[in-house]
Structure 1
Amino acid sequence: MLEPHDDGCCRTAERDSADRTWVHDAIRKVEADANRSADTHLHVFPLPAALRSKDVDLYLKDESVHPTGSLKHRLARSLFLYGLVNGWIREGTTLTEASSGSTAVSEAYFARLLGLPFVAVMPASTSQEKVALIEFYGARCHLVDDPASVYDEARRLADESGGHYLDQFTYAERATDWRGNNNIAESIFEQLSRERHPVPAWVVVGAGTGGTSATIGRYVRYQRYDTRVCVVDPENSAFFPGWTTGDGTVTTHKGSRIEGIGRPRVEPSFMPAVVDAMICVPDAASIAAARWCSELTGRMVGGSTGTALWGALRTIATMCQEGRPGSVVTLLCDGGERYAHTYYDDGWLAAQGIDIAPYTSTLEKFADTGEWVEPVRP
């Protein structure tokens, strides 16, 4: 709090030193959490036997092993540090966020770590498992029917409480240092350093905030690597049409069924100039790839991992057809256990009118022959 006083010639005000002490301790706690965590694994993906002689490799960066189980743990840590050093987060600050689930889970974790109240504003369609995880960390879930209203509602709740709207969609690209300092790009390249293709031809990621593609795209340019960045985008998302037309004002007025990626607007953190290619992936393909990956690797993965894997496999197939060797890296964003009542529930698929059979057939044929045959959408 501010302490005004009169020194005889002018009035001055100083912030209570206890506030700075609290911030120092909060930063220490967040940094200590990172120090206790090991780096995430980079798995070799078992490509089909038909491709093993093609001199191509595929890797999955397993972000599901973070303390809160997803890639968003990195983002939440960065957003909290950004808010603390900017003076936006202080002792007792009520925090709010607009989220489709995983970011809110991770932010709830850090809010509990610092003893701060947290409200997650999410679409009512968010999986039950994610809502339960957020509430487990002591946060409150504020569900809205219109996915496009989450931004304004989160800002309104922060304003009413005198709190801070974390705003992942604006600050994701600036809260993370793209030059390195233990970001995901630096981690990937360090882990690839002893592989036969240490500089990947492609890194394939989804776009939720746009922060991950911005970090990786900037990092490879800064390091002067030839790596290219491909962003995969699900149905009903604005990123793909916005990128292809160059119109950053594109909106879809629809929510994505693939939680964690896809947005009804082109988010401020999305940096189109650092993206080299985009692939629009049908939701049925994302879910088919997630289930196929889970069966093949024995690790249940979420829908956004399926989206990324579909794009990575298409990229690998193209490289093989063109006789280009190299490696491709994509992300295992979170575990599939969070989606037991959606992507892994046949009843939910039927209610959504989603038929994954043609896409599963493409993946199975690719596994058997190494040939990629694009399915005809039903």
Structure 2
Amino acid sequence: MKIEDDGNGDGGNSRDTDWAGRGWSDRDWADQAIRTIRAENNRSADTHLYSVPLPEHWGVQLYLKDESTHRSGSLKHRLARSLFLFGLVNGWIRADTTIVEASSGSTAVSEAYFAQLLGLPFIAVMARTTSQEKIDLIEQFGGSCLLVEHASDVYAAAEEVAATCNGHYMDQFTYAERATDWRGNNNIAESIFGQLQLEEHPVPDWIVVGAGTGGTSATIGRYLRYHSHPTRLLVVDPENSAFYPGWRGGTDGVPAGLPSRIEGIGRPRLEPSFVPSVIDRMVQVPDAASVAAMRHLSDLAGLHAGPSTGTNLWGVWQTIAGMVAEGRKGSIVTLMCDGGERYAGNYYNQDWLAVQGLDPAPYEAVIRRFFDTGRWDPGVA
């Protein structure tokens, strides 16, 4: 039974499958697996909450929670941990279970890490367009990748793979909103409020996040309501995603969107974990604007982030502009979802952007005007 860590945080590479021969029962194995995951969490310091410099006369503080510092490199580390614990306590994951997930990137990377920690095989089912960088990261943590032609095929393919290989389909899009304890228990919302306690504005006016599964926004929205915080939740969504029209219409009968060009967020369909009723406001963000804001962050704060962080920031800037216009002082928190080094070959590559038809330059001009004037003028030439 390979679930002891070797001290490097990567779970090692070898597997000992002789758990039955040592007299281990399913319950024994699950108990030890849960302890292993909880120990990994206990060894991990919380992620940083950076104060991002803004013009002092605006009277607004911006905080960026850097989820890229998790061992598997992204916000999805928390989700993967919760999904594994959820599967273990439900008896769905056993010592001989193959873990299967439908994911285009960061969730699969994080799940591969936890599968390796427990000595379990992991298969990620992804669209063939998934970047080689993400495939390499999954394989680095001992996972395997099954590529399908169309993003819409990943769900059925993952179910089929799990059914034929003694596997468990993690199904992040269904279970993300229920696997995490929204009351607290070290979730991301509780962490944010704990880290803000000594700040000038310890209760933020807004928290701004994107939606991939919908699990993060559901957890934060529920936490805010449960603890009676006046903080409002803004969810940003890339162009062509089904989440924004679903939130506006308040119905499941929303026409399917298109696969997102911003990795980690946006979906072609409303996912079961997306809970529109806990969201106070949504903003749809042009993909090129996400890239522009991602690049601007590097100049502003020296932080190198991925494109979904840029989507967050596009929503942040216009929200701050509204606060400045009203003369309202306060604070805003958003997330740095993953590090920019994962995207050197695409979103930070001008030739790749041109092939994708993405021109961030006009949106960069919008951000510059905002910082010069404090007013939001979204007009793009």
The equivalent of 1:99 in structure 2 is 103
Residue pair 2:47, 2:66 contacting (<8 A) in 1 also: yes
Residue pair 2:201, 2:331 contacting (<8 A) in 1 also: yes
User: What is the deviation of 1:189?
Assistant: 0.4
Looking at structure 2, the residues matched to 225 and 206 of structure 1 have their Cα atoms a distance apart, in angstroms, of 20
Looking at structure 2, the residues matched to 87 and 306 of structure 1 have their Cα atoms a distance apart, in angstroms, of 39
TM-score for the superposition, normalised by structure 2: 0.92
Letter in 1 for 2:300: L
After superposition, where does 1:209-248 map in structure 2 within 5 Å?
209-248=213-252
The equivalent of 1:33 in structure 2 is 40
Which of 184, 188, 193 is the equivalent residue of 1:184? 188
Number of equivalent positions: 359
SS in structure 2 of the partner of residue 53 of structure 1: helix
The equivalent of 2:302 in structure 1 is 298
1:359 aligns with 2:363: yes
Name segments (4+ residues, structure 1) moved above 3 Å.
Answer: none
The equivalent of 1:327 in structure 2 is 331
Which of 126, 130, 136 is the equivalent residue of 1:126? 130
Structure 1 unaligned blocks of 5 or more: 1-15
Residue pair 2:138, 2:144 contacting (<8 A) in 1 also: yes
User: What is the deviation of 1:367?
Assistant: 2.1
After superposition, where does 1:113-262 map in structure 2 within 5 Å?
113-262=117-266
Identity over aligned residues, as a percent? 65
Render the CA deviation track for 1:107-144: whole Å, top value 9, x for unaligned.
00000001111100112222211110000111111112
The equivalent of 1:5 in structure 2 is none
Residue pair 1:122, 1:150 contacting (<8 A) in 2 also: yes
Render the CA deviation track for 1:74-108: whole Å, top value 9, x for unaligned.
00000000000000000010111011200000000
Render the CA deviation track for 1:318-351: whole Å, top value 9, x for unaligned.
1111222211100000001111111101001110
SS in structure 1 of the partner of residue 333 of structure 2: strand
Render the CA deviation track for 1:43-76: whole Å, top value 9, x for unaligned.
01112x3xx2232111101100000110000000
Structure 2 unaligned blocks of 5 or more: 1-22
Looking at structure 2, the residues matched to 321 and 144 of structure 1 have their Cα atoms a distance apart, in angstroms, of 48
The equivalent of 1:10 in structure 2 is none
TM-score for the superposition, normalised by structure 1: 0.93
The equivalent of 1:20 in structure 2 is 27
Moved more, 248-257 or 332-341: 248-257
Looking at structure 2, the residues matched to 45 and 356 of structure 1 have their Cα atoms a distance apart, in angstroms, of 22
Residue pair 1:126, 1:259 contacting (<8 A) in 2 also: no
Structure 1 or 2, whichever has the larger Rg, is 1
